[in-house]
Structure 1
Amino acid sequence: MPMTSHRHTAWSGSLAALALVAGLCLSLPVRAADSAQGLRDKYQTVAPQLTDNVFHRPLVLESTEAPDRLKSDIYSVLDYPFATVKNALGDPEHGAANWCDVLILHLNIKYCHATQGADGGVLNVNLGRKVEDSLSSSYRLEFGYHPVASSADYFRVELSAASGPLSTRDYHIMLEAIPAPGGGNHTFLHLTYAYGYGTAGRLAMRTYLATVGSGKVGFTKAADSSSGAEPEYVGGVRGLLERNTMRYYLAIDAYLKSLSAPPDKRLQQRLNTWFNATEQYPRQLHEVERQDYLQMKHHEVERQQAAQ
């Protein structure tokens, strides 16, 4: 059944958001000790990149593109104690609601409401365009919230949804963390986004990238540039994926930073922190003006206070 032009525009915007989330994997039991050691080993591998990169912060971004799947990973050192990160994002009781406070910061997330389902926490999430819009023009996904491992020096949480618009499927968000090696009140974090897609999703992404998404780039350098020339970065679906990966990482950072503020000041601080951080990468991440973003998000937060 053909889509109207309005719905096609809405789904194109939603497709841009889909790179944030991704492929459901059938998870084997997670051993916290083994996973913590694996993350410590990864820290040693990426340590040189954490101190010298295009982000000007301790962060490494990796992305891969397959014929029917996209996946990206961020590794970063956060300036917050491990216990703060674990309690905020990996808590079995309150973690799902806290994730909604994170997710709503992203331009393409129009609504998020956490409930308790038969198998644990559930996040009802609406994906839409980067401008203020009605929920009827967005697409609803239902994410399961699963804290799968927790110990004194490691935690892991997964969010998964089986299907999305236009033949997209197997959405998976994974966050794991350990106290940063070397001591101090820092946390080494690993964030994964991945998803699969079929023919309809592939065609929709091609349409987006040929129109409103044309000319947009990610963060991975695609080729060496001559001295003084503008660097060349990956474009296409990998570029889209990397942009949204950064937006979500910055949302996590903004949420954690706001926890030190009085409760009635936290939302405004999160919004300002997220917008200021994205403006550090204008070529990749600038989409709207500050006042438009703040107004839109205040309206969306008000909307998500009630269950839909």
Structure 2
Amino acid sequence: MSRYLVTGGAGRLGRSVVTGLAQAGHDVVSVDRLSVDGLPATQLVRDLTDAGALRAVLAEHELDAIVHLAGIAVPFSAPDDVIFQTNTSLSYTVLEAAREAGVGAVLLCSSPTVIGYNAPEGWAPTDLPITEDHPVAPWNAYALAKVAIEDLVAAQVRIGNPTRLGVFRPCFVISPEEWDGAPTQQGHTIRERLDDPALAAVSLFNYVDARDAADFVLAWLSLPDAAPSGTVFFVGAADSLVAEPVGDALARLVPETAALAGRLGPRDPVFSSDRAERLLGWRARRSWRTERTELAERAELAERAEPGA
């Protein structure tokens, strides 16, 4: 059994990561600004913008690794300077504190937004599907901060930081309750995003079930020799969040992709997770087709059970 620290463990993704690690038999410490009832972890309520608070946690707990998820999770949800300052400084503090404390590994959370889609001045992919080798083109503070975090990790590898480092770019995270109709981080339900493809087109139909992302985290932690330190991974579902063939939807709703959209099969993801599958053996097991179908069946049964139905 290993002991892992998850920053942001009470968040949309963090809850599933904590739960997945605990179910795999590991001891988990969650650090967040709030606690969550029933979370299978030692929960510490701390403000990690205070660097001393994190160092105190690391001094108190002997850890095998840190999974760093804490930060402002939604673009434009705070002023640009606050988003950039908060997200970059948190990551820098985590990396420095982990190195000082001798923590063996740190996995940091980035985002597909580093690619630059949905830019107000237009954007076009250089290839489809999009892989980790695609050029980054951040255009807002959130994406700029994520690129800075990835660059910070690369710099740490170059200077010989002995901590094993990794970066993952989880696609649009869908937590388990969101399959049951809870609003997503953009305020729409999954049904609304499927009924109106334009809602998901702005992010190129990318998504991932939070439990699948948690499985990726576990795979990365469990296979220390599978990928060089500093490797970046896309982590997404094995299909796209759209009912019609994804190439057709892209060409219609994101015209800048039209020249390359035909390279995608009808159900292909726009963002490839092949690197994660090749190096770590990870592949998403859940999709809107499996989870939403189950939801629809449960809803139909409930309607039939109602008086007068």
Provide the TM-score with structure 2 as the length reference.
Answer: 0.28
Q: For the pair shown, which has the larger CA radius of gyration, 1 or 2?
A: 2
Q: Which has the higher contact order (CA 8 A, sep 6+)?
A: 1
Using structure 1 for the length normalisation, give the TM-score: 0.28
